[in-house]
A and B are shown apart, each in its own frame.
Chain A
Amino acid sequence: MASTFAEKILSAKSGVDAVQPGQIVTVSPDHLLSHDNTAAIIGKISDELGRFGLCRKDLHVIVLDHVVPASSETAANNHKVIRKYVKDYGIEHFFDVGEGICHQVLVEQGLARPGSLIVGSDSHTCTYGALGVFATGIDRTEAAALILTGQMWLKVPQSIKVTLAGELSRAVSAKDLVLSIIGDIGADGATYCSVEFHGNVGALTMDDRLTISNMGVEMGAKTAVFPIDSVGETFLSGLGADGGEPVWADADAGYSRHLEYDLAEIEPVVACPHTVDNLAPVTDLAETKIDQCLLGTCTNGRACDLAVAAEILKGKSIAGGVRLLVLPASRKELAKAMADGTIQTLIDAGAMLLPTGCGPCLGAHLGVLAPGERCLSTANRNFKGRMGCKEAEIFLASPATVAASALHGCISDPRNEL
């Protein structure tokens, strides 16, 4: 029987043949991700941990990234509790502060294997769909139960097929593509669905696919996935993580919805306050003054993203009155960007380099906004109050748009710069 990606993975992970959308199955995920919230998770089950122990030492992947380095005694103590848990229980996959943002680190460490099932107590766990992983976010209580039992129920989702054709134009990026899709179908357009990307996926680099899958939850998707092609194989081989068993949909699988996009028709866009689907073409927002630009995060903090910005800002200075914060997605991506002069170029242009981590994206620290301020960000969410102040406004865009805007002090079209 023809099956979608989700149907195949959930069938394999539950041991149930031929699952149908709507069916409840019990699965054993390959990995569980958590971050600074690990202390809160294990705090729920301290008695049970003592009595029953961990289900599996290699299940849990912990990355400290949300408030790093610790901004307060509370945050520092939170990290201390987590390090103790890692030591006491022999957690195999632990990455301390400074390694990077959890979703980037999990991928870099080769823990996102095609055909696997990964859940995480972070809504952007869907990022690993770029590597053909069924990856989805869960809450802390689910994570706690998983640590003990290793199992959870999942409902088999319907699937949406997105077919891509053509190539992205100059100065237009994967971020513009995924924002355009969200703008078209809405923040709940893919609710409960597995979104599969088909067609000319070869036009997208692995970095592009990570950006797109990362944003899957912003259209309500359970998971947002790509097939493994030669781009994927090369990427995995570079990590020493090849040898997995990629899964992909059958040619005649059934979908609840079909979408088609000609990449050449995508233009630079901006998600306006206060929802991700509140889209406008960048040209509609010309001269919207901005106070802060955030270049980075798990969505667009890789070396290639920073390099696009550096190309626009090379030999120039950002506009007076604008703060440009650079937030690399990981230590490794930062090292790449240092080696090729990207960081130097950004610093020379007036940027401020932040430690790799989540910081400003969720208003935790390092770039919180004041009432009345506007931030143009490469992050994935612009909800009211997200960057720490409900009287501030957050706009989302691509790295190229953010760099062009930092140059001029107002939202600007990157096609005029590249």
Chain B
Amino acid sequence: MKVWKYGDDINTDMLFPGKYTYTCATAEEILPHLLEDLDENFAGQVAPGDVILAGKNFGCGSSREQPVVGLKSAGIEAVIAKSFARIFYRAAINQGLLLIECAQAVDAYTDGEEISLDVNAGRIAIAGRQFNFPTLPDEILAIRQAGGLLPYARAKLEKSK
């Protein structure tokens, strides 16, 4: 597992440049441009199971969902940040991408350390130290557990038909 570490206020233009917003919609189209203006190594080297660690206000800016779709499709296990911007947070729930808000874990991490996650218990372990993070309310957990908002909505519509 590689840990990709970034700073504060990582915005959606850094995660996926605006100039591609209307030309890239599928995961295949998005992946090559992920984090293009922030870290030119990311798109080529990211692997399933990797984790992103970041400061405050991760995902601020536009409502474009390509960053979330791309990170999910690249197999990012979780984004652990001190705080998230709200449109991005919502988009992540809708795609089933795991976001963890835990400032202490971000501050405690040093390069090269192992990170392990126990999502159900709401715990992160970094080099032997444990940190708790808040779990989602049941209504919203149901969306993530369904694999995202559209699978959740489809199931509801099928049931009511």
Chain A residues proximal to chain B, CB less than 8 Å: 24, 36-37, 40, 43-45, 48, 51-52, 66-67, 74-75, 78, 121-123, 137-142, 144-145, 148-149, 153, 187-188, 191-192, 217, 220, 222, 275, 362-364, 368, 381, 383-386, 388, 390
- B10-50: CB near A (< 8 Å → 1, else 0) gives 01011001110111010000000000010000000000000
Name which residue of chain B comes closest to A75, CB basis: B22
Contact call B65/A364, Cβ cutoff below 8 A: no
**Docked-complex contact B17 and A149, CB < 8 angstroms:** no
Question: Do the beta carbons of A220 and B60 come within 8 Å of each other?
Answer: yes
A149 closest partner in B (C-beta): B153
**Are B13 and A139 in touch, CB under 8 angstroms?**
no
User: Chain A residues near B140 (CB, 8 Å)?
Assistant: 24, 153
Known interface pairs A122-B63, A362-B19, A363-B17; A52-B161 also in contact (CB < 8 Å)? yes
Please give the distance in Å from B159's CB to the nearest CB on chain A. 12
Residues of A within 8 A of B149 (CB): 141-142, 145
* Contact across chains for A220 and B57 when beta carbons are under 8 A apart: yes
B129 at the interface (CB under 8 A from A): no
A139 near B86: Cβ-Cβ < 8 Å: no
Nearest CB in chain B: distance from A38 CB, A: 11
* Residue from B11, B63, B90, B156 within 8 A of A383 (CB atoms): B11
Q: Select from chain A the residue with minimum beta-carbon distance to B25.
A: A40
Of the candidates A144, A145, A384, the one whose C-beta lies within 8 Å of that of B14 is: A384
A363 to B37, CA, bound (A): 14
Q: Which residues of A contact B161 (CB under 8 A)?
A: 52
B157 touches A148 (CB 8 A): yes
Q: A48 to B83, Cβ gap below 8 A?
A: no
Q: Tell me, rounded to whole Å, the shortest Cβ–Cβ distance linking B98 to chain A.
A: 16
CB of B94 within 8 A of CB of A385, answer no
Chain A interface mostly: loop
A51 contacts across to B, CB distance below 8 A: 157
- CB-CB < 8 A to A220: which residues of B? 57, 60, 85-86
Q: Is B148 in contact with chain A by the CB < 8 A criterion?
A: yes
**10 additional contacts (CB under 8 A) given A52-B161, A149-B156, A187-B57:** A37-B22, A66-B22, A138-B63, A139-B68, A140-B65, A187-B9, A188-B60, A220-B57, A362-B19, A386-B13
Annotate B111-149 by CB proximity to A: 1 below 8 A, 0 otherwise.
000000000000000000000000001011000000011
Q: Are B17 and A74 touching (Cβ within 8 A)?
A: no
* 18 residue pairs A–B, Cβ–Cβ below 8 Å: A24-B137, A24-B140, A40-B25, A74-B23, A123-B61, A137-B63, A139-B64, A139-B68, A139-B91, A148-B153, A187-B57, A188-B85, A362-B19, A363-B17, A364-B18, A381-B61, A383-B13, A385-B14
B25, B56, B86 pick with most chain A CB within 10 angstroms: B86
Cβ of A149 and Cβ of B61 under 8 Å apart? Answer: no
* Smallest beta-carbon distance A350→chain B, Å: 27
Which residues from B are CB-within-8-Å of A364? 18-19, 21-22
A263, B56: Cα distance in complex, Å: 30
Give complex CA distance A123, B12 in Å. Answer: 11
A192, chain B: closest CB distance, angstroms: 5
**What CA separation (Å) do A344 and B18 show in the bound complex?**
32
**A141 touching B86, Cβ below 8 Å:** no
A71 to B7, CA, bound (A): 35
Shortest Cβ gap from A161 to chain B (Å): 19
Q: B61–A36 contact, CB under 8 A?
A: no
Of A144, A222, A383, which one neighbours B61 at CB under 8 angstroms? Answer: A383
Q: Sorted from nearest, which 7 A-B pairs have the closest CB atoms?
A: A139-B91, A188-B57, A383-B13, A139-B65, A141-B94, A145-B153, A362-B18
Q: Are A188 and B56 in contact (CB under 8 A)?
A: yes
Tell me the B79-109 residues at the A interface (CB within 8 Å). Answer: 83, 85-87, 90-91, 94-95
Within 8 A of A (CB), among B47-81: 56-57, 60-65, 68
Determine the chain A residues whose CB is within 8 A of the CB of B137 once the complex forms: 24
Shortest CB-to-CB span from A136 to chain B, Å, is 8
Check A386 against B22 for contact (C-beta < 8 Å): no
A67 & B13 in contact (Cβ 8 Å cutoff): no
A170–B25 Cα distance when bound, in Å, is 46
- Among candidates A48, A138, A188, residue contacting B157 with C-beta atoms closer than 8 Å: A48
Please pick, from B60, B90, B157, the residue contacting A187 in the complex, using a CB distance under 8 A. Answer: B60
Residue of A nearest to B152 (CB): A145
Contact of A385 among B13, B22, B148 (CB under 8 A): B13
**Is there contact, CB below 8 Å, between A36 and B22?**
yes
B154:A48 contact, CB within 8 angstroms = yes
Given A139-B87, A220-B86, A44 contacting B37 (CB threshold 8 A): no
Neighbouring A residues of B14 by C-beta, 8 Å: 383-385
B17: chain A residues at CB < 8 Å are 363, 385, 390
Interchain CB contact under 8 A, B18 and A386: yes
Beta-carbon contact of A141 and B65 below 8 Å: yes
Contact present for B148 and A141 (CB under 8 Å): yes
B150 at the A interface (CB under 8 A): yes
Given contacts A78-B22, A191-B83, A364-B19, contact A138 B90 (CB under 8 A): yes
Within the complex, the shortest CB–CB distance from A216 to chain B, in Å, comes to 11
CA distance A45 to B62 in the complex (A): 22
Query: Which residue of chain A is the closest to B92 with respect to CB atoms?
Result: A139
How far in angstroms is the closest Cβ of chain B from A357? Answer: 12
